[in-house]
Amino acid sequence: MQWKNDSVDLYDCRTRSWYIEAAASPKDMLILVDNSGSMTGMRKEIARHVVSNILDTLGNNDFVNVFNFSEEIDEVVPCFKDMLVQVMINRSITVLSSCLKYVKYEAFNKFAIQRCSFLL
């Protein structure tokens, strides 16, 4: 008996909008990305990848924004300042994901996250 060399099936319905909308209730999500000096090299890439994967699981009924923090708290997309943006697959997610590439990493400040929680 010969084994078939079929390609691996990578289809995952958990990342499809029809599954996400049926399996979960709408969410309001604020994602904070550490851009301090300690986030260099592989840590930076892992953080970017995790945020991108989180954004991929959101559906059309969800609202999200991504902020980075170190010395100051800044929104990743300047025009999304002080608001949560409704997720529109292939639009707002693409904008947020592509802007993660341009997050600049700065000096370490452990108190910025506390300021962020009080400002929002």
pTM: 0.62
Each domain of the chain, given as residue ranges in start order, spans 26-119
pLDDT tens-place string over residues 42-56:
888 888 888 888 888
Looking at residues 62-78, what average pLDDT do you find?
84
- The DSSP string of the chain is -PPP-PPP----GGGSHHHHHHHS---EEEEEEE-STT--THHHHHHHHHHHHHHHT--TT-EEEEEEESSSEEESSGGGTTS-EE--TTTHHHHHHHHGGGPPP----TTHHHHHHHH-
pLDDT of residue 43: 87
pLDDT of residue 93: 64
Of 32 and 17, more confident: 32
CATH number of 26-119: 3.40.50.410
Looking at residues 91-115, what average pLDDT do you find?
59
